[in-house]
């Protein structure tokens, strides 16, 4: 750390001196100066390569004494590096832009590489699971009761790994959340964009968007302490029996959590519709509601569909709310008043504690993750096709 700080300080001092020197040279030179770039570009190139060399020395496998000696030699002979960036035919502006482009491409490649590594790691662990449990039984089985096995050779025994009830619960809670979030989010965006006064909008939109920053564990407590007892009392008064941890309570709170995503993106989409289209519809005699239904919403529909896709993906991947409010028992039911579980809740349950990664119970979490990933990927492809068709129709 000391070497790094000393190197940064020395490079900064030399870079400042280089910048002043080039500025003075440009002032003394004629209009046909030999410099092809601004002084700051030469300084940027010098700092860039100085940092690369210094970091290469500091993080090398040499001994501490060798690092100090090399670093001292490098800093002492740094005027040779300055001479390189002081040459007549050196275009520091293009050089620095190429370095920036290379850094951006590396950043993009890292993101892609991380995605590939995550997918491959999940895939390999899932293949280990499918060596013990048949993929047909996993994908089409209707009973989910994973039990621990000590070794991979041990019989699964009384365990059952049918994932249908798990994904059925995921679908049920996601559907309830969308029923709550999509209408409320879009209608709130329409109100803020077309009917609310500017001062009202300035207060309401930030207030509603605060919901997006609330931790999901807080929503979980809200579902358990407030929403679930309220629904239980309400349906009991109507003569219905509702579970303490119901899909309705979890889905409702999840929908409330997702409203800011849909509201904000829909509002931005409606505001991006050209004002000329809105004014033209009103000039033709349309009412404000007719203009919204026949001009603004169809024009913004691709972005609104994208907002709904983001909300669905958010709902599918939500964990804390369903763990706290939906239950952990997988049931073959589509009754919103019953207790269900989701794929993310089961993944958390299977991986909690000290687990050995040679048991089908533990490896089942990776199989659920892989299946969820594939389903989400297919859903996104379908959604992109739908968005493309909307763009062709209303573009």
Sequence ranges of the chain with CATH classification 1.10.3720.10: 160-394
Report CA-CA distances (Å) from 321 to 223, 226, 234, 316, 372: 7, 13, 21, 11, 18
User: By C-alpha distance, which of 308, 309, 269, 262 is closest to 292?
Assistant: 269
Give residues with Cβ within 8 angstroms of 276, minimum separation 6. none
Helix axes 247-271, 164-190, angle to 10 degrees: 40
Give the DSSP letter string of 265-322: HHHHHHHTS-HHHHHHHHHTT--HHHHIIIIIHHHHHHHHHHHHHHHHHHHHH--HHH
CATH class, range 160-394: mainly alpha
Task: Give the H/E segment covering residue 388.
Answer: helix 360-394
Per the CB < 8 A criterion, the answer to whether 360 and 159 are in contact is yes
How many degrees, rounded to 5, is the angle at CA 353 between CA 352 and CA 357? 85
User: By C-alpha distance, which of 168, 174, 212 is closest to 309?
Assistant: 174
For the stretch 243-273, pLDDT in tens is 888 889 999 999 999 998 888 888 888 888 8
Average pLDDT score over residue span 295-317: 85
- pLDDT higher than threshold 70 for residue 380: yes
Give residues with Cβ within 8 angstroms of 246, minimum separation 6. 228, 231, 232, 325, 326, 336, 337, 338, 339
Per the CB < 8 A criterion, the answer to whether 313 and 306 are in contact is no
- What band does 30 get if pLDDT is binned at 50, 70 and 90? very low
Average pLDDT score over residue span 24-37: 54
243-261: b or e for each residue (b if 16 or more CB lie within 10 Å)? bebbbbbbbbbbbbbbbbb
Instruction: Count how many Cα atoms sit within 13 Å of the Cα of residue 43 in the half-sphere of its side chain.
Output: 16
Sequence-distant contacts of 268-273: CB under 8 A, at least 24 apart: 268/303, 269/300, 269/302, 269/303, 269/304, 269/307, 270/189, 270/190, 270/193, 270/194, 270/296, 270/297, 270/300, 271/193, 272/300, 272/303, 273/299, 273/300
Per the CB < 8 A criterion, the answer to whether 269 and 358 are in contact is no
How many degrees, rounded to 5, is the angle at CA 184 between CA 284 and CA 314? 120
Per the CB < 8 A criterion, the answer to whether 223 and 327 are in contact is no
Per the CB < 8 A criterion, the answer to whether 252 and 180 are in contact is yes
Whole-angstrom distance between the N-terminal and C-terminal Cα of the chain?
A: 56
For the stretch 213-244, pLDDT in tens is 888 888 888 888 899 899 988 888 888 888 88
Instruction: Count CB neighbours of 44 within 10 A.
Output: 22
Between residues 368 and 384, the one the model is more confident about: 368
- Give the pair of three-digit tokens for residue 302: 């691709």
For the stretch 108-153, pLDDT in tens is 899 889 888 988 988 998 898 888 888 888 888 888 888 654 444 4
Tell me how far apart the alpha carbons of residues 216 and 330 are, in angstroms, rounded to a whole number.
Answer: 22
Give percent of the chain with pLDDT exceeding 90.
6
- pLDDT higher than threshold 80 for residue 168: yes
Q: Are strands 160-161 and 144-145 parallel, antiparallel or unpaired?
A: antiparallel
Q: For the chain, give the longest Cα–Cα distance.
A: 93
């Amino acid at each position: 750390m000391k070497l790094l700080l000393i190197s940064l300080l020395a490079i900064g001092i030399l870079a400042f001196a280089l910048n002043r020197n080039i500025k003075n040279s440009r002032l003394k030179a004629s209009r046909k100066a030999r410099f092809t770039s601004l002084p700051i570009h030469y300084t940027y190139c010098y700092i860039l390569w100085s940092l690369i060399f210094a970091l290469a020395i500091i993080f090398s496998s040499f001994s501490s004494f060798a690092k100090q000696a090399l670093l001292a030699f490098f800093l002492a002979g740094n005027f040779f590096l300055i001479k390189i960036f002081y040459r007549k035919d050196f275009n520091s502006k293009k050089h620095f832009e190429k370095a920036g482009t290379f850094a951006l491409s590396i950043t993009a490649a890292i993101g892609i590489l991380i995605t590939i590594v995550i997918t491959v790691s999940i895939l390999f662990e899932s293949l280990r699971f499918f060596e013990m449990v048949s993929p047909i039984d996993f994908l089409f089985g209707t009973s989910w009761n994973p039990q621990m096995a000590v070794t991979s050779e041990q019989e699964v025994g009384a365990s059952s790994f049918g994932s249908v009830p798990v994904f059925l619960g995921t679908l049920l809670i996601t559907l309830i959340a969308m029923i709550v979030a999509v209408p409320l989010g879009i209608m709130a965006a329409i109100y803020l964009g077309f009917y609310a006064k500017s001062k009202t909008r300035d207060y309401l939109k930030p207030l509603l968007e605060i919901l997006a920053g609330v931790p999901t564990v807080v929503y979980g407590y809200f579902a358990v302490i407030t929403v679930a007892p309220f629904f239980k009392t309400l349906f009991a008064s109507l003569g219905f029996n509702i579970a303490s941890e119901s899909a309705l309570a979890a889905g409702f709170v999840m929908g409330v959590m997702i409203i800011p995503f849909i509201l904000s993106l829909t509002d931005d989409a409606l505001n991006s519709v050209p004002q000329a289209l809105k004014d033209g519809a009103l000039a033709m005699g349309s009412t404000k509601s007719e203009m919204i239904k026949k001009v603004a919403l169809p024009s913004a529909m691709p972005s609104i569909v994208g907002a709904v896709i983001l909300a669905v993906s958010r709902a599918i991947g939500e964990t804390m709310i369903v763990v706290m409010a939906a239950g952990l028992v997988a049931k073959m039911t589509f009754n919103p008043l019953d207790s269900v579980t989701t794929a993310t809740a089961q993944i958390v349950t299977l991986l909690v504690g000290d687990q050995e990664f040679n048991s089908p119970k533990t490896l089942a979490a990776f199989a659920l993750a892989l299946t969820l990933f594939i389903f989400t990927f297919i859903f996104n492809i379908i959604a992109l096709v739908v968005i493309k068709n909307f763009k062709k129709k209303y573009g």
